[in-house]
Amino acid sequence: MSIIEKAASRIDQQRQAANSVVSAKPETATEQAGAQAPLPVIELPAATPATATAPAAAQPAAPQPAAQSAAEPVFAEAPAAPAASARGGARKVELDLARMRELGMVTAAGGRTNLLEEFRIIKRPLLKRAFAERGPKDNPGNLIMVTSSLPGEGKTYCSINLAMSIAMELDHTVLLVDADVARPSVLRTLGLPAHRGLMDCLIDDQLDLQDVLLRTNVDTLSILPAGTSTGRATELLASSTMTQMLHELANRYPDRIIIFDSPPLLLTSESRVLASHMGQIVVVVEAQTTTQHAVKEALHKLEGFENVNLIYNKTRDIPGIEETYDYHYG
């Protein structure tokens, strides 16, 4: 049985366990298969004690379109902010941390919650690999892509929480990149207006990264928006300009982690192109919803890539099981 089949089987077993109440802790999901990299799995519950009204991967109470992700809160779209002047430097934006906390997101002021602890577990091996020694042909380990098989599985939610959790580190800074250029949602989820970003830099060689980066009121967190939508996104992400930009992002600051909120693997070609640049890949899987077939197909698209990890999102508590997640790393 291949590592893809094992990972998919693990997810199918978890779904069956949730539907037929069990009294034993789920079995381990991480196995080594030949020379391929392991697939660490962590399970995020659908609700945590952090907030009574906002489950960990739930939609806020406001109505939403049927196609919107249930894991990615929606805010009213604000008018686009005026573009910064050329060579004007990074713009400062304010994150509404209180609202983020109410929506069940990780914030430094939110106290010690289950969600905070879960993302501490998720980030630790990612940080360890980010700055480990690598071969001359290896991609930088501090370039981390978060994706999913299909929309609605919670990848943007996990990207933001992972970035917020890493921003709490004493020795690291983090840049959150909205790379889902066909359907950008990071700024909308954070309640921020549209800004120029990644695509604008790739289209306009006179535009500098510093002109489109957004500094936040979390000193160790910056955001690179998706920017202007374009039908040439795949070609731009595969271009030498993108390669040079990623090299600059990965190496300009020795303590920086770059998190990419990527398009879903089964809907766009951009995600596989983006994966070719990444040192680590995290695949978010929605518990009890994503089919085993979808997971297999998504992981097939990542064959040949190392350091692929799984986050099993929106799990439900099962009576008789003391822990709401089971994390294994090998």
**HEC assignment per residue over 92-157:** EECCCHHHHHHCCCCCHHHCCCHHHHHHHHHHHHHHHHHCCCCCCCCCCCCEEEEEECCCCCCHHH
Of 325, 274, 317, 293, the C-alpha closest to 7 is: 293
Which 8-state DSSP code applies to residue 86? T
**Would you list the domain boundaries of the chain?**
3-54+100-165+179-185+246-251+260-315
The pLDDT value given to residue 14? 54
In this structure, what token pair is assigned to residue 248? 């600059």
Return the pLDDT at 13.
60
Inter-residue contact 57 to 50 (CB < 8 Å)? no
Q: What is the DSSP letter of 14?
A: H
Strand-pairing partners, residue 311, are 42, 284
Q: Which pLDDT does position 42 carry in this prediction? A: 67
A 10 A CB-CB count for 49 gives 9
pLDDT computed for residue 279 by the predictor: 95
Whether the Cβ atoms of residue 305 and residue 36 lie closer than 8 Å to each other: no
Tally of helices (H runs) and strands (E runs) in the chain = 11, 9
Query: Any idea what DSSP says for residue 258?
Result: E
DSSP 82: P
d(CA 252, CA 259): 15
Q: What angle do CA 71, 77, 78 make, to 5 degrees?
A: 135
Dist. CA 228–CA 233, nearest whole Å: 10
Q: What is the pLDDT of residue 90?
A: 73
Look at residue 16 in the predicted model and tell me its pLDDT. 53
What pLDDT, on the 0 to 100 scale, is given for residue 317? 52
Strand, helix or coil at 32? coil
Which pLDDT value is given to residue 288? 84
Task: Describe the strand order of the beta sheet including 256-261 as a list of residue ranges.
Answer: 41-45, 308-315, 280-286, 143-148, 256-261, 173-178, 221-224, 214-216, 91-93
- CA pseudo-torsion sign 133, 312, 73, 200: positive
How many other CB atoms sit within 10 Å of the CB of residue 297?
16
Report the alpha-carbon distance of residue 166 to residue 125 in Å, rounded: 12
| Domain 3-54+100-165+179-185+246-251+260-315: CATH class, spelled out | alpha beta
Q: What CA–CA distance (Å, rounded) separates 44 from 254?
A: 30
Closest-CA residue to 168 (of 93, 255, 107): 107
**Across-strand partners of 41?**
310, 328
Q: CA–CA separation, 221 vs 174, rounded Å?
A: 5
Side-chain half-sphere CA neighbours of 210 within 13 A: 5
Closest-CA residue to 325 (of 185, 146, 118): 118
Q: Per-residue pLDDT tens, the chain, 330 aa: give them.
A: 555 555 556 556 655 544 433 333 333 333 333 444 456 666 666 643 333 323 333 333 343 433 333 344 333 333 444 444 334 467 899 999 999 998 889 988 777 888 899 999 999 999 999 989 888 889 999 999 999 999 999 999 999 999 999 999 999 999 999 999 989 999 999 999 999 999 999 999 889 899 999 999 999 999 999 999 888 999 999 999 999 999 999 998 889 999 999 999 998 889 999 999 999 999 999 988 889 999 999 999 999 888 899 998 877 654 443 333 333 332
User: What is the DSSP-derived secondary structure letter of residue 248?
Assistant: H
